[in-house]
Amino acid sequence: MNTTGTTGRAERESRRWGPRGTAGATFAGLLAFENVSKQFGKTEVVRDVSFSLAPGEIACLLGPSGCGKTTLLRIAAGIEKPDRGRVLFDGQEMAGPNRFVPPEKRNIGLMFQDFALFPHLSILENVAFGLKNLPRAEARTIAGHALERVGLAHHAADYPHHLSGGEQQRVALARALVPRPQVMLMDEPFSGLDQRLRESVRAETLTLLRETRASCLLVTHDPVEAMGLADRIFLMRQGRLVQSGTPEQIYRQPADAAVARFFSDANELAGPVTGGRVETPLGGFPVPAGFHGREALVLIRPQGLKPGGAGTDGLVVEARFQGDDVKCSVLFKGVDERLTALVHAREAPQRGQTARFEIDPEHVFVFEKPVSPPIS
C-alpha cells in the first residue's frame, strides 16, 4: 500500500537529495571471504565463513543480534584481524596468514549506525576529511559537489548538531563515498532514523550506491530492509553463514524452518510422513526430495491460508482489520492452536463465522524434525 502521504514524503525527501546521476563513478571492486573465523575469548563468533561479492553488487549481511555480522564487517574493513582464513579485494589478500593491509590502505568506504561525524568540523570539512591526500582546495571542491548531490550544499558551513538525523545520514554517506571506494561497508546505517524517514532514505541511498557502482556490504538485522535493498542476502546464525541467495530465493526457498520463521510469521503443524507426504488436519503435503524422517514440520505463512475452494472448514474466532488485509485467528478441527490467516479485506470472513480455507502451496514449507535452533 502506498498512500498519497508516503509518496509526497518520498518526493520531498528525493528533492532534498539533489540531482541524480551526479555522483562520481567508481570502478567496482570484488570482496571475498575465504574460510574466515574469529574468536573472542573462548567464543568463536565467526565460523568458517566463505562468500564473495560481485563487482557493483549490493549485499546484505543479515541475522539476529550477536550472530557475528558486525565482526565480519570489521574484518573486511581491517578493524579486526581474522584468526583463520583470508579476505581478498579484487583477488589481492587484505588479511590472511601472509598479509595484513590496514584499513586506510583498503579503498573502502565505512558507514556506521551513529554516522560518526566529527562534531567540531563543519559539514563541508566532514566530507572533505576523506580526501586528505588531495590539496585542500581541491578536496573542498569535491566535497562541495558531493554535498550538492545529497542535497545539502546549503548546510556546508553548518556543524553536525545543526542537522537532523536524516541529514546527518546523508553527510556520512557523502563522506564515505567521496574517496570513490571500491567497496562500501555499512553497519545498520538506517537504524538511527525515524521509521517514517527510513524508507525514503534507503531508496535514495540505494540510488546513490548504484550510481557510484561501488560494491556494498550492508549489515542489518531487519529481513524487510534486506529484502528491499539487497541484490543478494547472506544470512548468518551463530557465526555461520546459513543461506545465501537473492531475496526472492531465500523467501521462497528457506533452507530450514528457522530461516522461514525469520522472514515471516508462520503457522506450524507437525504430522507423520507416509508415501512421500506429510499428513495434517489441513490435508497432505509432499515432503521434499531426500526427506528421511518419519515426522515432518509444516510451516504455512498466514497469507497462504486463503478463503474458499475445496479446503477445510475453520471457525474464525478473531478478525482484525489491518487496512488492505484482515488478520484472522482460525480454529480448525484437530489443531490445538489457532492458526493465523492473512486475508484480503474484500474476501475476509467475519468473526464467529465458519469459513472454508484452502492452502496456497507457494506459502507452505515442509522440513524434517527435529527442528533447527531458532534464528531470532
The residue ranges that bind ligand ATP (CB under 6 A) are 40, 45, 63, 65-71, 221
**Residue 47 or 356 having the CB closest to ligand ATP:** 47
- Cα–Cα distance between 287 and 368 in angstroms, integer? 9
User: How near is the Cβ of 111 to ligand ATP at its closest, in Å?
Assistant: 15
**Residue 10 or 79 having the CB closest to ligand ATP:** 79
User: How near is the Cβ of 69 to ligand ATP at its closest, in Å?
Assistant: 4
β-pairing, 267-274 vs 295-300, is: antiparallel
User: How near is the Cβ of 187 to ligand ATP at its closest, in Å?
Assistant: 8
Q: Are 178 and 142 in contact (CB under 8 A)?
A: yes
Phi, psi of 296 (to 5 degrees): -125, 155
Burial of 197 (0-12, 13-18, 19+ CB in 10 A): middle
> Which residue's entry shows cell 530450514?
256
User: How near is the Cβ of 255 to ligand ATP at its closest, in Å?
Assistant: 18
**Residue 81 or 105 having the CB closest to ligand ATP:** 81
**Residue 3 or 65 having the CB closest to ligand ATP:** 65
**Residue 45 or 123 having the CB closest to ligand ATP:** 45
**Residue 122 or 191 having the CB closest to ligand ATP:** 191
> Which residue's entry shows cell 565480519?
72
User: How near is the Cβ of 218 to ligand ATP at its closest, in Å?
Assistant: 12
Q: Are 180 and 26 in contact (CB under 8 A)?
A: yes
- Report helix, strand or coil for 21: coil
Residue nearest to ligand ATP (CB): 70
Question: What grid cell was written down for 298?
Answer: 509444516
- Report helix, strand or coil for 52: strand
Question: What grid cell was written down for 187?
Answer: 553497519
DSSP-assigned letter for residue 208: H
Single-letter amino acid, residue 287: V
User: How near is the Cβ of 221 to ligand ATP at its closest, in Å?
Assistant: 5
